[in-house]
Amino acid sequence: MLSWTVPSVGQWFVSAEGTRWWFDSGSIALDFAYTGSMGTNPLWERWHAPEDMAQWLEERFGVRFRVTASDLAATKRLRDAVAILVTRAAAGEAFPPATVELLDDHAARPDVAPQLGRDPRPTLDQVLAGLAREAVVVLRDHADRIRECAAGDCQVIYLDTSRSGNRSWCSMMRCGNRNKVRQQRARQKRSTK
């Protein structure tokens, strides 16, 4: 797990129609995967340049990194591996061994050592190792709670962290609200007949 800080989970998305909505993925590892494409969704690439990745990491972890083009490329490989595995988990499919190996290799790298007297400054590799470990924990211990949104026209994947384990929507602001509107219209239509 990410031991030096507890990053916030969730991020703002903008739909193809231009609607801005908050998406709580349930895990920083899924937030990480959603900086690119996931599942059958169109590309949602947020990291077009090293600066984009540096900004995302700073927003999540409070540390500014100098990110190179090779850092960006390597991080995208890890991110894409997490996306593949999470998508497979949501579909109940087996994990590709090479993808598991890539994730496990990153998760095995050193973490930030906890310290009492000073705030540790993690390296980029340590942050990525923490993200990989978070993904391993989610995929190993909570794969049964990785779900796809119940809306028929949405393929967003999330980790259901609700106490009851019955979350249906990627976001109440988006799909949950659209479903409530459809149900209300159907009730009104039935009552006018």
What value does the mean pLDDT of the chain take? 86
Span 18-57, pLDDT tens digits? 778 788 889 999 999 999 877 655 567 889 999 999 999 9
Percentage above 90 pLDDT, the chain? 49
Residue 181 has pLDDT above 80, yes or no: no
Q: Which ranges of the chain does DSSP label H, i.e. alpha helix?
A: 28-33, 50-61, 69-91, 97-107, 124-141, 177-191
Which residue is associated with the tokens 């083009």? Answer: 69
Span 3-19, pLDDT tens digits? 445 566 888 877 777 77
Span 62-79, pLDDT tens digits? 889 999 999 999 999 999
Centroid of chain to Cα 189: 38
The pLDDT of residue 19 is 76
Domains and CATH numbers, the chain: 11-191 (1.10.3300.10)
What would the two tokens of residue 26 be? Answer: 């349930």
Mean pLDDT of 116-122: 78
Question: What pTM, to 2 d.p., does this model score?
Answer: 0.84
Q: Higher confidence at residue 189 or residue 164?
A: 164
Overall size of the chain counted in residues: 193
Give the pLDDT band (50/70/90) at residue 129. Answer: very high
Fill in the DSSP letter of residue 150.
S
